[in-house]
Amino acid sequence: MPIRLLSSEVASQIAAGEVIERPASVVKELLENSLDAGARSISITIEEAGKKLIEVADDGSGIPSSELELAVARHATSKLARSDELFSISTLGFRGEALASIGSVSRMTITSRVRDEQEGARLRVEGGVSGKLTKVGTTVGTTVRVEDLFYNVPARLKFLKSDVTERRAIDLLVTRYALAYPDRRFKLADGKNVVLQTAGDGDRRAILAALYGVDVARQMLEIQSGEEGAGLTGFISPTSLTRSNRKEITFFINGRWVHDVSLSTALLQAYHTLLMVGRYPLTALFLEIAPEEVDVNVHPAKAEVRFRNQDKVFSFVQRSARRALLAYSPVPNVAPSLWGTTRTIPSEPPRYTGLDWAIGHDEELTVNNERLTVDSPPSVTPENTSIANRQSSTGTPNARAGVENRIPLLRLIGQIGATYLVAEGPDGLYLVDQHAAHERVLFEKLMAQHAMKNIPSQALLTPVAVTLPPHSANLLITQLPVLQRFGFEVEEFGPHTFQVRAMPALFMGSDPSFALRALVEDFEEDEAPLQNEVEARLAARVCKRMAVKAGQALSNEEQRALLHDLEACDSPRTCPHGRPTMIHLSVDMLERQFGRRGAR
Ligand code: ADP
Ligand code: MG
C-alpha cells in the first residue's frame, strides 16, 4: 500500500481512542468543559449507562454561533494561544480535542447560546461529520447531547464492562467532581431517576455524605493545610475506617482529578503502621499549587501530571495527612501487641530471646531462635503466605506437612487477653485466635447451608434501615437476589436506603448493617458478582465482619462452644482468608525448650 495521509475521520477516531475510552470519559470531558465555561449549575442525564445517551447541560458562558463549527474541529480551543502557555495552564481543557473526539464516535448535538446573542445555535455531528448549523431559541449556556456512543466503533463497545460497572464509573466521577467543586450545583440523573444532586452551597461534608453515606462522612477527618505556594484541603479517613483497595483514594490537583501513584504513596506513608496490612484509607484531597509547578500535558486524558518539585509536594501531602491523623486520633500501639490489630510481616524473622506472647498471628514465632511450628496448611494467596509456607521455602521441613487437617479434641484452659483461647490437646498446647477461629466456623456453617440451598433466615424484631451511598445502593439493588440466597431479606426503603427484615439465623444477635456493608463492599470489587466461587468469597467477607473480635471477652460456655465448633470444621487450621487460626506448641517442642530433651 502506498503511504497516504489518514482521512480526517480516521485520524480523529484514532485520537478519540486515547481520550474517549468509555462513557465516563465522555462525561468527564463534558463536565470539564462546563466547569471551564464558569457554569454554576451542571445537569447530567444518562441512559443505559451512557451508551444510549449522555447529556450535559450547563449555564456557562456558551459558545458564539460563529464559533460553534470550530469548537467541534480537532485542535480547536479557546483556552490556549501560545505554546509557552502550556506550562501555566489554569483551565481543565487545553487540547482542543474532546468535542472532536466525542463527535467522531457518536451522534453528538451541541446547542449553545452566549449572553450577547438573542438566539442560540445548534450543530449536529455524526461519526465525525458535521451537519448544518441551525439557529434555535435557547437559554444562555451549552447543552451537549451524545447519543449512541461508539455506534460506529463496535470494537470499542465490546470492550465496555457491564452496565452496572459503567454506570458506577459515571456516578463516582460526577460525585468526585461535585466534591471538588462544592460551590457549583451538580445533578446526575439516570433516566428519570435522580442519582445525585448537590446544593452548590460550598458544603463539602454534605456531598461527602452523598458519596460515602452519612456515617462515613461524619467520621472523615478534615484537612486544611497551607505552605508557601501550596494548599491542601479535603478529607481523609481515620484509621478505623478503611477499604480493601486503593480505589477510594482520590486526588484533585488544581481542580483536576488525577491518578498519581506517587501521591497515593505519600498519603499511605502518612498512615504507615496505623493500618492493617492490605487496608487502605478513603480520601478526597484537593491540592492547589501554582500552575507553573505542574505539567498537565503528559497524558491524553489528562489523568496524570508531573511536578516540577515532586519531593516537596509529596512531603507536604504526607505531613499534612499525618498531622491530621495524629490530631484527631490517638496513635494506636504499633508494637506487636496482644491487644493490637496491627500486623506486619517482617522480611527478616524477628529474633526473640524468649517466648514472646505479644505477637500478631501473621508473624513468625521464634523461641531461642528456633521457629515454632504453626499448624496451617500452605495458604492460597501470596499475600497470605502462611508461616508453614515460609518455613518450607526457607528449607526447614514442615513437621506437620501431610498430616491430616483436622484438629484433635481440645480441652479448654481459658482465654487470654480477651483475644486467644488456650487449650490442651493430646499433643501439647494450642493457642487459638478467637476471631480467626470464629470466622472459620461461621464460614463453614454458612457454606454448608448454602450448598443445601437452605440458609435458615430469621426475622429481625425491629427491621434495621441502612443508608448507602448512591452508587453502592444502585449496585445493591441489582444484587438483591444474591442476598436472598444468603438468607437476607432486604428491601428498598426510600432513596439509597434499605431495610433489613431478616438475616441468616447464624448471625442473629449481630448488627445486620455490618453484614450488608460487607456484602456491598464485595460487590463493588467484583465485575460479575454472580458467579459461584464469588459466593464463597462473599460468605467469607460477611463471616469476617460477623465473627467475634479480638478483645471481646467470651464466657466459658462461648469459649467451649467455639472450640467445639472448630473441631468440627473441615479446615480448622486457617480462617477463610488463609490465615492461621491457631498456634500449636507440641509436647516435644515444650520439652526441648525446657531442656528436658535433646541437646540445645
Ligand atoms: P478544550 O476544552 O481542550 O478547549 P474541547 O474540544 O473540549 O477542547 O472544546 C473546544 C472548545 O469549545 C473549548 O475551548 C471551548 O471554547 C468550547 N466549549 C466546549 N464546551 C463548552 C461549554 N460547555 N461551554 C462553553 N464553551 C465550550
Ligand atoms: Mg474540553
Per residue in 545-600, pLDDT tens?
Answer: 888 888 888 999 999 999 999 998 888 888 887 778 888 888 888 888 888 876 54
Q: How high is the pLDDT of residue 407?
A: 83
Amino acid letter, 412: L
CA-closest residue to ligand 1 atom 19: 33
Integer Cα distance of 382 and 598 in angstroms = 35
Whether 284 shows a pLDDT value over 90: the answer reads: yes
Question: Which of 68-77, 194-203, 311-320, 474-483 is least confident?
Answer: 474-483
73-82 contact pairs (CB < 8 A, 24+): 73/100, 74/8, 74/11, 74/12, 74/15, 74/100, 74/101, 75/100, 76/100, 79/36
CA-to-CA separations, 334 to 57, 273, 326, 341, in angstroms, rounded: 51, 6, 14, 9
Q: Which residues, in sequence order, are CB contacts of 251 under 8 Å at separation 6+? A: 257, 258, 259, 260, 263, 264, 283, 285, 286, 287
Tell me the pLDDT tens digit for each residue of 21-42.
999 999 999 999 999 999 999 9
522 lines ligand 1 (CB under 6 A): no
Cell numbers describing residue 469: 451511598
Q: How far is the CA of 39 from the centre of ligand 1 (A)?
A: 12
Atom of ligand 1 nearest to the CA of 58: 23
62 lines ligand 1 (CB under 6 A): yes
342 or 494: whose pLDDT is higher?
Answer: 494
pLDDT band at 272 (very low <50, low <70, confident <90, very high): confident
Q: How high is the pLDDT of residue 534?
A: 63
Q: Which of 19, 28, 36 to mutate to test the pocket of ligand 1 (most atoms within 8 A of CB)?
A: 36
Atom of ligand 1 nearest to the CA of 97: 6
60 lines ligand 1 (CB under 6 A): yes
Residue identified by cell 526473640 is 352
328-332 contact pairs (CB < 8 A, 24+): 328/221, 328/238, 329/221, 329/238, 329/239, 329/240, 331/274, 332/239, 332/274
Q: Which residues, in sequence order, are CB contacts of 560 under 8 Å at separation 6+? A: 412
Q: Which of 176, 75, 69, 206 has its CA nearest to residue 124?
A: 69
Highest mean pLDDT among 229-243, 320-334, 471-485: 229-243
pLDDT band at 222 (very low <50, low <70, confident <90, very high): very high
Q: Which of 40, 97, 99 to mutate to test the pocket of ligand 1 (most atoms within 8 A of CB)?
A: 99
Amino acid letter, 495: P
DSSP structural state of residue 83: G
DSSP H helices, 431-584, are 434-451, 470-478, 480-485, 512-525, 532-546, 556-567
Integer Cα distance of 130 and 567 in angstroms = 73
CA-closest residue to ligand 1 atom 16: 78
37 lines ligand 1 (CB under 6 A): yes
Whether 55 shows a pLDDT value over 90: the answer reads: yes
Tell me the pLDDT tens digit for each residue of 431-468.
999 999 999 999 888 888 888 888 888 898 888 998 88
* Interhelix angle 163-180/204-212, nearest 10 degrees: 170
Q: Which of 563, 542, 582 has its CA nearest to residue 442?
A: 542
The mean pLDDT of the chain is 81
Tell me the pLDDT tens digit for each residue of 179-217.
999 999 999 999 999 989 999 999 998 888 877 878 788
CA-closest residue to ligand 1 atom 18: 33
Question: Which of 82-86, 360-364, 551-555 is least confident?
Answer: 360-364
- Is the full-model pTM beyond 0.75? no
Amino acid letter, 15: A
538 or 290: whose pLDDT is higher?
Answer: 290
Atom of ligand 1 nearest to the CA of 100: 6
Integer Cα distance of 488 and 481 in angstroms = 9
Amino acid letter, 567: E
Q: How high is the pLDDT of residue 100?
A: 93
Q: How far is the CA of 66 from the centre of ligand 2 (A)?
A: 18
12 or 553: whose pLDDT is higher?
Answer: 553
Residue identified by cell 462544592 is 182
Mean pLDDT of 476-491: 85
Q: Cβ–Cβ contacts within 10 Å for residue 32, how many?
A: 19
CB 375 within 8 A of CB 571: no
Amino acid letter, 276: M
CB 146 within 8 A of CB 106: yes
What is the number of residues in the chain? Answer: 600
